[in-house]
Amino acid sequence: MNDGKGRLLALWLCLTLMGGWMISVQADNTRYELVESNRSIMRVGPNQTLDQLVEHIYPGQKELWTQIKKKIREINPNSFNRYTGQLIVGQRLKLVTIKVIREVGIEHRLRSVGVVTELSGLVTATDRNGRTTSLKKGSDVYEGDRIRTGKAAHALVYMIDRAELHIKPDSSLRITEYLQKSGFERGSTSIIDLIKGGLRKVTGAIGNNPLSNYRFHAGVITIGVRGTDYVVKLCQENDCSQSAGRNDADSRLHLVVLDGLIVLQDEEGERGEMALGQYAIADNEQVVMVEEGKQPASGLLETTEQEMFDKLKPEEESSSIWPWLIGGALFGL
């Protein structure tokens, strides 16, 4: 009897040690380095906490939240109260960049979330495993893909929830997370990050479901929707014939709502709405609604989009001036 218990104990210890070894090998395969970023939050708002900011700006890196908060405190010694450890309102807060410095032997499972239905020019996708392929009509698009279009290229991607991504020339975006649950079950998610250039987004089932998590990160603001069709582009100031990256000094975000309603929110939680037929411009200092009736910047809308905009009449009760000004932070990847 004692021998049997001894063998079981020995087996348990062996399995425990093997499990620990496997965990250490897995952890050793991927290493991360947190470094000071050139992006920052321009000013800390009232009642903001470091936990809230980290969870909002780094939603996909939950396992690194503790290290990220520690690094932010390290590079921002004057942004925290020395006695309470809380953020000081009005302080500028430098962010961190997460670098993968070694990744060996790990293959991410790729899950198709859309298909290319139209395409012209050179369009590429880089998946989570770092492989880059040229897309063509009929190609699958996967969760985690970073899609890039050449200067004379464009692509239409039809997503699993029947949403449409009309990706404009000289653009780059990442399909960070895309998951559709059946019916009205909670858990459907659409998170897309615009890195450069622009696109027209026609929402599908996820955007129409109030229980879904829909976020479109566009640099200075995050866009939420309730069944809508909108055009968004990062431009070189007010010249939308030239694409800009979200971290470029002269980058401005231009938005037009062709149908429905979009909700804009900055990292401090300030919110505002844009309705059908409205046009707005944002940079990393403020967001200002353009006066009603003003034409969007040259190069923002394609011919069919311009025709749609010209037919729209904003609702009479909607305000002609953006009701609030907000500070901005560039949410990098």
pLDDT tens for each residue of the chain, 333 residues long:
455 555 544 544 443 444 433 333 333 456 788 888 877 887 888 888 999 999 988 887 888 999 999 999 999 999 999 899 999 999 989 999 888 765 555 567 899 999 999 999 999 999 998 899 999 999 999 999 999 999 999 999 999 999 999 999 999 999 999 998 876 567 789 999 999 999 999 999 888 888 888 889 887 788 888 778 999 999 999 999 999 998 888 899 999 999 988 888 876 666 788 888 899 888 876 666 666 678 899 999 999 999 999 988 655 444 433 443 333 333 333
| Angle CA 120–125–128, to nearest 5 | 170
Q: Nearest-CA neighbor of 163 among 109, 110, 216, 218?
A: 216
pLDDT at 330: 35
pLDDT at 240: 95
- Sheet (strand 189-196) strand order: 132-134, 123-126, 146-149, 172-179, 189-196, 213-217, 222-225, 261-265, 271-275
- DSSP lists the bridge partners of residue 224 as 263
Contact 191, 219 (CB under 8 A): no
Contact 215, 223 (CB under 8 A): yes
* Domain formed by 112-310, architecture: Sandwich (2.60)
Contact 225, 210 (CB under 8 A): no
Please state whether the predicted TM-score (pTM) of the whole model is above 0.85: no
Instruction: Give the list of residues 6+ apart from residue 35 with CB closer than 8 angstroms, or none.
Output: 96, 97, 99
User: 181-190 long-range CB contacts below 8 Å, 24 or more apart?
Assistant: 184/209, 184/211, 185/211, 186/211, 186/212, 188/161, 188/212, 188/213, 189/213, 189/214, 190/159, 190/161, 190/163, 190/214, 190/215, 190/216
pLDDT at 291: 61
pLDDT at 1: 47
Domain boundaries, the chain: 31-103, 112-310
pLDDT at 106: 58
CA atoms of 133 and 147, how far apart (whole Å): 10
- DSSP lists the bridge partners of residue 173 as 147, 194
pLDDT at 136: 95
